[in-house]
Amino acid sequence: MTGGLTNSQSEYIIDHLKHHAIISGEVSSLLKYGIPSQDNMVSVYFPESVKNYDPRKVIRIDGIPVLYPVGPERDSFYSLQGNSVVFHHDLLKSAFHLLSGYEEYRSGATDALGRFPYKASLQKQLGITTTPVVNYYFEAILEGLEKFCELNGIPFQRNRALTGPVLMLSHDIDRIDAYHFFETAFKFKQLFGLAPSPYDPGGRLRDAFTALYHFLNPFSKKNPFWNFDFLHSSASERGFRSTYFFLEKDGRHDNSRYRFSEQRIRDLMHRLAGYGHEVGLHGTIRSATDPAAMQQTLSNLNMAAPEPVKGVRQHFLKYASPDTAVLQEEAGLIYDATLGFAEHEGFRHSYCWPFRLYDHRVDCPLDLWEIPLNMMDVTMFYYRKLDYGAILRSVEQLAGEVVRFNGIFSLLWHNNFFDEMEFPGITNFYLQLLDRLKSFGMEGIPGKEILQRIVNSR
């Protein structure tokens, strides 16, 4: 980023800072940018860095990297000078770089599925994937502001939009028929070595003929993917309510094999909503970059859903910055829940709270909000190949950060990810995982309610 922050960029960061504290007009008028004045005017001074990001210049204070250091101080974020507070480095620009996704926009790197790859991220390069660095910046700023207000007799109050940590438990409903024709055909491709399989030859044979039996048997009622009573009960027994993102069939693209208009799907959506869960859109492959596809799939879902749909997560986490967000906003959606790394759990934008997405092309924030994704079943078992113990340790690390800032832990678990043959004990592990998150004091509520609390707190 060349030069200091624009007005729009600095206002974007200050606006998010106000989600954590009530910053009065009096305090706002005393925020100054640049070097402290010589007239000893009582103020809060934020230095400005006009240099480009240089990884060789990054410093760390208490283990937290500062992307845009300014002064010579290396041990603290700020100091008191008389009744003023002077920050030593450009925390606002550092926060903007991470929170707005500037690195993704600047890089333009994509993987085979058109996603921004984890290996190209600043989070990986700086080793901060599991640390919500922006929250640490904000905490340092708020601590400085609080001391400034104490020194000068100005009221200061933390904002309590979230009174405790929150779990956003979600399910992407990609596949609902375990013994569909195409599901069965794929298992035979695996049997003959034409597609990858996690099983040995005996397992592939058993898997293929089990699928064939249930596919051909008109009296078979077995369908392990239709497990919505289990998903509901496992959540409600712990006081959680979830968000279900439904994916529509879209031609021959790699999406679902069902349509929203099917009576069983409509009935399911209404039943889930009646339990207090949220029905959201799982955007098709085309909808991530095609405005007509986005409008059509959302319209189809709204005709089937019990109430207007507010949230979306893109299939395969396919997201083009900022194009996808613009399409989502134009379609009338309120929030997105896509932005996590497929390859690694953690904080993709280094923040454990909802935030507004940013359009760098026009240097302006969007009205669309992001509830960032922290952990996905596919990430842990396929990309990372972790065992149950390692997954729980990772959960505890991320949850500890979320609890520290009363933030959001967003967990995605697909309805079809309970294959006991591939992962023995996985159903019990899922329940153990929910219990562990509950033990952190997390309240499990749907995405739309999370956003309502954030917006209504201002």
How does pLDDT run across 289-302, given as a tens digit for each residue? 999 999 999 999 99
Q: Is residue 373 part of a domain?
A: yes
pLDDT of residue 277: 98
* 270 and 127 housed in the same domain: no
| CATH code: domain of residue 429 | 3.20.20.370
Residue 174's nearest CA partner among 246, 250, 280 is: 246
* 144 and 227 housed in the same domain: no
Number of compact structural domains in the chain: 2
* 118 and 171 housed in the same domain: no
pLDDT tens per residue across span 187-243: 677 777 876 766 677 767 776 667 565 556 666 667 899 999 999 999 999 999 999
pLDDT of residue 186: 66
* 36 and 61 housed in the same domain: yes
* 125 and 58 housed in the same domain: yes
Q: Is residue 205 part of a domain?
A: no
* 46 and 140 housed in the same domain: yes
Q: Is residue 115 part of a domain?
A: yes
pLDDT of residue 310: 98
Q: Is residue 185 part of a domain?
A: no
CA distance 120 to 105: 12
CB burial readout 311-342, b (16+ within 10 A) else e:
bbbbbbbbbbbbebbbbbbebebbbbbbbbbb
* 154 and 170 housed in the same domain: no
Q: Is residue 398 part of a domain?
A: yes
Q: Is residue 2 part of a domain?
A: no
Residue 139's nearest CA partner among 16, 47, 27 is: 16
CA distance 422 to 223: 17
* 11 and 105 housed in the same domain: yes
Q: Residue 342 belongs to what domain range?
A: 166-178+223-456
* 173 and 106 housed in the same domain: no
CA distance 22 to 404: 19
Q: Could you say which residues of the chain have pLDDT below 50?
A: none
Residues found in the chain = 458
pLDDT of residue 38: 66
pTM: 0.94
Q: Is residue 184 part of a domain?
A: no
The last residue of one of the domains, among 106, 127, 158, is 158
Q: Is residue 207 part of a domain?
A: no
* 236 and 96 housed in the same domain: no
* 266 and 147 housed in the same domain: no
* 273 and 384 housed in the same domain: yes
